[in-house]
Amino acid sequence: MPEHHHEHHPNISADLIWEIARTNNAFLVKRRSGGGVQFSRDPFNLVNKHSRKHAGFVNDKAVGILPGAKGGLTLTTKKTKHSNRPIANINEVKFGADKSGPKIYKNIVNVTAKQGYRADLRQDAVARASAIKMSSRPVKETPDKKIRGAKAKKATAKE
């Protein structure tokens, strides 16, 4: 007898959840400055924009990238299988600070592509990983500016 795999279909559509929660939810950040712009603090929102496309709490398959411990980063993905169990609904992949940027980006693309995540999120995921990786680098001290031209000639003449 063939084995049947049943997919879990939630009772409420993602569009309905968005219409109900878009004006007021825990992740929404409203600012009066800048023409009343709205941002999102959703950990599955890669661009921090308050929109249906980027809202991770609404979508069944979402990708989140967060800074990890000691300069690393964490790729978090939502599973569709356990939508009513928040802890079992999340899959995490941790990357250490010693792993190179291109390897991390390739892994992010592979994880999202092989698991059938939305292709439009891949570029945003790589961009966010790149920004987090760059921000964790130590800042170089700016060297003193060299005097050039006529001022340099005057300075060498005085010495």
Please determine, for residue 2, whether its predicted confidence score (pLDDT) is greater than 70. Answer: no
Distance CA 42, CA 48 (A): 7
Predicted pLDDT of residue 65: 92
Q: Which two tokens stand for residue 96?
A: 């250490």
pLDDT above 50: residue 3: no
Quick: pLDDT tens for 46-62: 998 899 988 888 888 88
CB 93 within 8 A of CB 111: yes
| 65 φ/ψ sector (left φ>0, alpha ψ -120 to 50, else beta) | beta
Does 158 have pLDDT greater than 50? yes
In degrees rounded to 5, what are phi and psi of residue 108? -60, -45
The per-residue pLDDT for 10 is: 59
- pLDDT greater at residue 10 or residue 141: 141
CA 10: distance to chain centroid? 26
Q: Which residues of 142-158 are buried (b: 16+ CB within 10 A; e: fewer)?
A: eeeeeeeeeeeeeeeee
What's the pTM value of the predicted model, to 2 decimals? 0.72
pLDDT 10s digits, 19-39? 998 888 899 998 888 788 889
Specify the pLDDT at position 61. Answer: 86
Nearest to 92 by CA among 69, 66, 71, 110: 66
Per-residue pLDDT of 69-125, as tens digits, reads 888 899 888 887 777 777 788 888 888 888 888 888 998 888 888 888 888 888 899
- Whether 6 shows a pLDDT value over 50: the answer reads no
Spatial distance between the Cα atoms of 29 and 25, rounded to a whole number of angstroms: 9
pLDDT for 126 beyond 70: yes
Indicate if the pLDDT at residue 143 is higher than 80.
yes
